Copies of this chain bind each other. A is one copy, B any other.
Amino acid sequence: MKVKDLQRGETVVIALGGNAISPPGSEQYEDQLREIRNTLKGIRKLIHPGRYRLVFTHGNGPQVGDIFLQNELTKDSLPRYPLDVCGAQSQGLIGYMLVRELRNFLKEDQERGVSAILTQTLVDEDDPAFQEPTKPIGPFYEQEEAGRLKREEGYEMVEDAGRGYRRAVASPEPRAILECEQIDSLLEAGSVVVAAGGGGVPVINKEGDLLGREAVIDKDLASAVLAEGLSASLLLILTSVEYAYLNYGKKDQRPVKRADPDQVRRYMEEGHFAAGSMKPKMEAAARFIESGGKKALITSIEKAEVALEGKGGTVIAEGE
């Protein structure tokens, strides 16, 4: 897919991975700002102001983990918030950095502003993921304390890589982005929009009432739901590698340069793409195309511009 194939006014959803904001070693605030500025430079042509309707989504792993941990560490003296609220906080934190730096990047070129919208993502109350929480969060505990938390708080506790026990939460499927229409309104008015941070705050609809859930939503899958809701033309997933690879890390690894959703599914059945890493990205890309999207592109920030010119990256689209 070439940038020049995109028509003025088409919608592009850009999903920023953790490495776009806070790669390992860049945990401090000033580091994160530097990384964000570099990321924006890397996709300079795409964010040419006013040409496309641009939505940025982003991960929040390190930030929400730290906020949750702060809550645990200070809970004896300060109010403790559940994980869904910590996720909302992380949207504020990262949204502010992104909006401010996007405004600084676009400068006078930006005519109609940049804004971040707090986003809730609807999940099913009976999503099977809730029966089997898998995502470790928060501090490490000794076995005894882990047992107590399981009994008294009802937490699912998992052993994590020999370093101790951690609470595990579910990663349910995103069903709908509650603020999709508002995001669309902002785009219509010409704003660049930051949304669905961390995959959105997970909420269920229980007999008409929205309730938060202590869970995490994959940000790429949520981005695909949002891209579908906005009838986006392009879902651009920025990560740390130029391509998705078959046999990744092995001697015979080779890049996937182009695939349709069926091929993606076959590759998955063959065991390619790491869970929690490339797999949800490929799954998100495939779902987006299946839902009627034109193209999805998975590539690195460094290669984004050439990939957008058709010279790199993994393109997922219907066969030609």
Contact = CB atoms under 8 A, between A and B. Distances in A.
A251 to B, nearest CB: 39
Interface stretch (A11-19, A202-210, A264-272, A293-301): A202-210
A263 interface: no
Contacts of A84: 96
B104 A181 contact: no
B118 A115 contact: yes
Interface of A: 27-29, 66-67, 69-71, 73-74, 77-82, 84-85, 88-93, 95-97, 99-100, 103-104, 107-108, 112-113, 115-118, 120, 178-179, 181-182, 185-186, 188-189, 191, 194, 201, 203, 208-210, 212
B118 A99 contact: yes
Contacts of A201: 96
Contact of A120 (B74, B77, B91, B100): B100
Contact of A70 (B70, B93, B209): B70
A209 to B, nearest CB: 5
A69 B78 CA distance: 9
Contact of A113 (B67, B181, B188): B181
Nearest to A108: B208
A164 to B, nearest CB: 15
22 contacts: A28-B79, A69-B78, A70-B78, A73-B73, A73-B74, A81-B93, A84-B96, A92-B93, A92-B95, A92-B118, A96-B120, A99-B118, A100-B120, A103-B210, A104-B210, A112-B181, A117-B117, A118-B118, A181-B189, A182-B189, A185-B186, A188-B189
A284 to B, nearest CB: 24
Contacts of A107: 208
A194 to B, nearest CB: 8
Nearest to A85: B93
Nearest to A75: B70
A116 B118 contact: yes
A89 B113 contact: no
Given A113-B181, A118-B118, A189-B185, A88 B79 contact: no
A120 B93 contact: no
B66 A78 contact: yes
Contacts of A104: 208-210
Contacts of A113: 178-179, 181-182
A100 B212 contact: yes
A115 B182 contact: yes
Given A73-B77, A89-B93, A116-B117, 12 more contacts: A29-B82, A67-B89, A70-B70, A74-B74, A89-B89, A91-B96, A92-B95, A96-B118, A100-B120, A115-B179, A117-B117, A185-B186
